[in-house]
Structure 1
Amino acid sequence: MSRPAVKPAHPHSRHGHPGSKPQVKELVPTLKRLAGYLARRKGLLFLVVLMVAASSALGLLGPYLVGIAIDDFIITKDEKGLVLLLALLGVVYIFYSLATFLQSYWMVGVAQKTVFEMRTELFTHLQQLPLSFFDKRQHGELMSRVTNDIENISSTLNSSVIQVASSVLTLTGAVIVMLYLSPMLTAITLLIVPLLYIGMKWITSRTRRFFKEQQRHLGELNGFIEEAVSSKHIVKMFSQEEKIALAFNERNAKLKETGFWAQTYSGFIPKLMNMLNNISFALIAGAGGLLALHGYVTVGVIVVFAEYSRQFTRPLNDLANQFNTLLSALAGAERVFDILDTEKEEEQADEFPLHHVRGDIEFRKVSFSYEKGNETIKEVSFKADKGDMVALVGPTGSGKSTIINLLARFYDPDNGAIFIDGYNTSTIPRQELRKHMGFVLQDSFLFEGTIKENIRYGRLDATDEEVVKAAKSANAHSFIMKLPDGYETKLQSEGSGISQGQRQLLAIARALLADPAILILDEATSSIDTITEMHIQEALNRLMEGRTTVVIAHRLNTIRRADQILVLNQGRIVERGNHEELIETEGHYASLATASQL
């Protein structure tokens, strides 16, 4: 006597497909790319598949042996044979449990190594994307892709991959054994498949859309939270707590709505499985009883079919319980691959490194726009020789920061060209170009870590003595030594725990340590008290010695000694000259100086 098996699961080939063709086209490439990552673990995957096959076969063997026990030993009252068969049944289930454990253990290893690679690849890719990519996206939403979306993929690989493979093997084996035992009862059992197909198609056409929206709304909510937390001082200054709470509730409500419908529709699947399982069991019991009365099947066969009918939808039930994770992971994978498919800040084949930089700068009729049709700077031209100080002044939005961004190749000009030492910057690798530049910005960013580590960020191979020397030159050494742990004092996120002026002094020390040929200053002394400004200005004077310096000026005393002052307005240079020359012309610069806007 023979019997079918234990875990029939038919991972319906369309179970993850959305209802419309465009969505199917998105799903198939996503699955293929995930499979490509898994293929890198071929050895472990082979062992997993081997254990899945073994557990499926042993699971199918169990009910088959139960049928033999009924027909050959219980009905015939063969006690000895029954005991031996029960012992065999025990061995089968012991090895079944071992195979199940090993497949899960090895699959966890595959999953963790896979998501480790994906997370590393995603984070590395983010570092290579142009600034324009980050300008258009919330930081919290990007963080959600690196964390939440990757974690969803991890959960799915840990469970669903094994479940799908086990379901296919179990269902195939079950059908083969059932056909061998009774084609008629098999046909009756398979009557539920069309109902299953219709139900799954109706549910999945809706569920995947909601899960994709849920991931999108989750990313938006994370982005909003990140922005709200980072701007908490501004919120409190303007007493906008109620407004920001309302904005949060609005986004949270959208996430709740899509999450509700995603979970509701996916919750229909296990209920559908249970209903079809009960229908199948009733059909087998009724039809099997009639066939047994006429001698077409034995009692053991009916018991086996009853067991198979109950287990026919069990793997699908398991899939249904994980369906939320499966669809959520596919939506997350699409979001991850969307970033990975974004073009990197590639270097051109004809680019070459600059090993020694004097610091000569030239802009030739440079025009640039962040958005097409809205030029930020227009035909800007100027020269600065080694050691010169060039100051950029003008109202907000005149293009000062844009000139800095173009000089550092954070963006490339739409028209015109920029030259360093006579070489077009478009032919110089970006990282190589920036190695010869030092930046001291108005809001200097400090990393979580020690003061020594933050200064050494300017040149990672610097010795402790060089770090201290840079700090002394930046007038930072005295305040550092007054801290509890000196240079080993740990700073919190963004340098909280020390004053704005002290942060600026550390930023100057970092730039001094880098020893750049070109120095870019986004006025480091704004919003600083007079005494601290004197220390910072003294440090800046040391920093600027022998270096070509481009300054975005906010204060008049910073630019009085500039070799060249460029006055910008609406993206064009409207005046140029030194301080005395521009004052004498009584033009735009003189008006700004008189009105104390510099």
Structure 2
Amino acid sequence: MARNRYDVDEELETPFNMANLKNVFVYVGRYKWKMIFSLLLSAVGSIVGLTGPMLVQRAMDVAIPQKNVQLLIQLSCLLAGTILINIGFNAIRTILVAQVGQNIVHDIRKDLFDHLQVLPFSYYDNRPHGKILVRVVHYVNSVSNALSNGILNFIIEIINIIFIIFFMFQVSPPLAAITVAGLPVVIVFILLIKPKQRRAWQSVNNKNSNVNAFVQESIEGARVIESFDREEENDKILDRLLDKRKKSWMGAIYVSNTVWFTTETVSQIVFSLVYIAGAYWFNPMVSFGVLLAMGTYASRFWQPIVNLANIYNDFINAVSYLERIFETMNEPAIIEDKPDAEKLPPIQGSVEFKDVSFGYEPGQMILKHVSFAAKPGESIAIVGPTGAGKTTIVNLISRFYNIENGAVCIDGHSVMDVTIHSLRSQMGIMLQDSFVFSGTIADNIRYGRLDATDEEVEQAAKMLHADEFIRNLPDGYNTIVKERGGGLSQGQKQLLAFARTLLSDPRILVLDEATSSIDTSTEQLVQQGINLLLKDRTSFIIAHRLSTIRDCSRIMYVADGQILESGTHDELMEKQGLYYHLYMSQYRREAVTKQAEV
């Protein structure tokens, strides 16, 4: 799909709507009392602060002309008090709003992460992981201020404007009317520029997402990049992405700054008209105190307007982030429990495929009318060419994808009708990717069973012959593993993943190319552990080395989405069909390799 590339902009699946804003206020509403208290502090501080120009007016028109020193001192003390109260209340409000903002970041990010963990594999198959990561980290950080401080400041500035208008009309109604006359011009301009702003910031987010996706891909593929001497070419690619990002950013800034420029220009024109009107248009001329007070109020009136314009710019940017965040949150968790799903009871391990057809994309079937039954304790090997559907079969047993045609049943229960937790908790799965998490060796083995003791962890490692290499590490089982198992060989990582699966003690075991990265001598030792693990468990084994599956209860040869042959190793060899030719060709290649080594 086109969106699964770092150099292609993402397209929003659905346009932003007001329902998303309602979701936003759910997060804000959790901390409404702190927000309300902050609002009250700001309102009181604002009212107290707005009395300042009136105190100055009285000083200029009364105290100074009458040389009333006592009144002037009183007015000065009151003015200082209003300033201190305003500063104190705003400081408390700033702390409260910062707390609210961080709480909102925590809640949104946690909900987003929780939802990502239940999304189907297909969601990750179709998107660069860097474009997903940027939503969880950067976008959530970017909206926190708009959802806490931004909302509060918006309300506060509206209140300030109302109070300022009230005080202005108390001082001079004609000059107050001139002050507010420019407001409709600014409002009309903001409404006209809004669609262009939204598109501009969406473009910026797309370019940021592309850069993030490419950088993450380059970090993960660092070894390949250096091996093929691709550093210079990758630098050019990043330069192109950064140039597009810079161009998009500057375009968004130009558009956003027009709001600020228009607001500032109108405010300065109105500010000048207040002084001109007060000094020349009125007869008699207004007093100096009135003119000074109105000039202060006019400045204070347009400052909230300018602030609102900036808040509006931030909000438009935040909306573009919220569109991406809620697009992810609204992504349906296709693999989820049905409303009437039942808990799967402790299983014996019988597995049955009933006429199952499946494809990852509509109209492209990977499995075609697959049917078979495995009895408890049987070991089923699945072999065949690449892309035949081997991994798809085991993925459907674990219900990593929904089954629309046919049924997969465990002990007679359809996997679609039971809870996912009760299903997967009784299965042990080792996929082709032997993923190792950052943490200790013991933590990685204990990952699938957190209540396992240290002795049980060590026993699992010994059964898989991983204990020896673990004890040779600097801190043994307490050795810290780097991200993605850095510092360990691929074979060592696979042994750890195997021990992790063994420790979970599953009733159904899935091994997908479990020994693909282990050398032949180690594989022989591991095979002994596998044989112990397979005992009394139903198992499905996908292996590229056919010598490891000779003792399986049954071998199924899968090709073109169908089971073309099924039987024991001896039965299939005697038949001299597809499995026979596959086995013999591999046997001959291994013989040639051994001869060449000699």
For normalisation by structure 1, the TM-score amounts to 0.92
1-side partners of 2:320 and 2:153: how far apart?
19
> Which residue matches 1:371?
361
Write the deviation string for residues 481-501 of structure 1: whole angstroms up to 9, x where unpaired.
121211111111111212222
1:289 aligns with 2:279: yes
> Which residue matches 2:37?
47
1:197 aligns with 2:202: no
Q: CA deviation at 1:322?
A: 5.1
1:492 aligns with 2:482: yes
Q: Identity of paired residues, percent?
A: 37
1:469 aligns with 2:459: yes
Relative to structure 1, the CA distance from residue 25 to residue 363 in structure 2 (aligned partners, 3 Å threshold; closer, same or farther) is: closer
- Secondary structure of 2:448's counterpart equals coil
Write the deviation string for residues 522-580 of structure 1: whole angstroms up to 9, x where unpaired.
12222432222222222222221221110112111022122211111121112212222
1:219 to 209, 219, 242: 209
> Which residue matches 1:140?
130
2-side partners of 1:51 and 1:255: how far apart?
41
> Which residue matches 2:112?
122
1:311 aligns with 2:300: yes
Give unmatched runs, 5+ long, in structure 1.
1-21
Judge conservation of contact 2:47–2:163 (CA < 8 Å) in 1: yes
Q: Quick check: 376-385 or 77-86, which moved more?
A: 77-86
* AA of the residue aligned to 1:517: R
Q: CA deviation at 1:291?
A: 4.8
May I ask how many residue pairs the two structures share in their alignment? 576
2:316 to 327, 339, 344: 327
2-side partners of 1:24 and 1:366: how far apart?
33
1:315-464 to structure 2, matched below 5 A, reads: 315-321=304-310, 324-344=313-333, 345-464=335-454
Judge conservation of contact 2:354–2:408 (CA < 8 Å) in 1: yes
Relative to structure 1, the CA distance from residue 559 to residue 23 in structure 2 (aligned partners, 3 Å threshold; closer, same or farther) is: closer
> Which residue matches 2:248?
258
Write the deviation string for residues 402-430 of structure 1: whole angstroms up to 9, x where unpaired.
11110100012120001111211112211
2-side partners of 1:181 and 1:253: how far apart?
54
2:16 to 26, 37, 46: 26
* AA of the residue aligned to 1:300: G
Q: CA deviation at 1:27?
A: 5.4
Q: CA deviation at 1:302?
A: 1.5
* AA of the residue aligned to 1:62: G
* AA of the residue aligned to 2:432: Q
1:149 aligns with 2:139: yes
Relative to structure 1, the CA distance from residue 101 to residue 447 in structure 2 (aligned partners, 3 Å threshold; closer, same or farther) is: same
Relative to structure 1, the CA distance from residue 28 to residue 428 in structure 2 (aligned partners, 3 Å threshold; closer, same or farther) is: closer
Write the deviation string for residues 425-483 of structure 1: whole angstroms up to 9, x where unpaired.
11221121111111223331111111111111121111111111111111111221121
1:535-550 to structure 2, matched below 5 A, reads: 535-550=525-540
- Secondary structure of 1:446's counterpart equals coil
Q: CA deviation at 1:324?
A: 4.8
Q: Quick check: 267-276 or 458-467, which moved more?
A: 267-276
Q: CA deviation at 1:23?
A: 13
Q: CA deviation at 1:292?
A: 4.9
- Secondary structure of 1:565's counterpart equals strand
- Secondary structure of 1:326's counterpart equals helix
Relative to structure 1, the CA distance from residue 23 to residue 62 in structure 2 (aligned partners, 3 Å threshold; closer, same or farther) is: farther
Which fold has the larger relative contact order, with Cα–Cα distance below 8 Å and residues 6 or more apart in sequence?
Answer: 1
- Secondary structure of 2:341's counterpart equals coil
Q: CA deviation at 1:206?
A: 1.8
Judge conservation of contact 2:43–2:156 (CA < 8 Å) in 1: yes
Relative to structure 1, the CA distance from residue 30 to residue 443 in structure 2 (aligned partners, 3 Å threshold; closer, same or farther) is: closer
> Which residue matches 2:593?
none
- Secondary structure of 1:176's counterpart equals helix
Relative to structure 1, the CA distance from residue 75 to residue 276 in structure 2 (aligned partners, 3 Å threshold; closer, same or farther) is: farther
Judge conservation of contact 1:451–1:487 (CA < 8 Å) in 2: yes
1:299 to 273, 288, 294: 288
1-side partners of 2:379 and 2:192: how far apart?
69
> Which residue matches 1:11?
none
> Which residue matches 1:176?
166
> Which residue matches 2:509?
519
> Which residue matches 1:248?
238
2-side partners of 1:414 and 1:491: how far apart?
41
Q: Quick check: 91-100 or 22-31, which moved more?
A: 22-31
Runs of 4+ in 1 over 6 A off after TM superposition: 22-25
Judge conservation of contact 2:14–2:327 (CA < 8 Å) in 1: no
Write the deviation string for residues 571-592 of structure 1: whole angstroms up to 9, x where unpaired.
1112212222222322222222
Q: Quick check: 69-78 or 396-405, which moved more?
A: 69-78
Give unmatched runs, 5+ long, in structure 2.
1-11, 590-598
Q: CA deviation at 1:134?
A: 1.8
2-side partners of 1:131 and 1:594: how far apart?
36
- Secondary structure of 2:450's counterpart equals coil
Judge conservation of contact 1:152–1:325 (CA < 8 Å) in 2: no
Q: Over aligned residue pairs, what C-alpha RMSD do you find?
A: 2.1
* AA of the residue aligned to 1:311: R
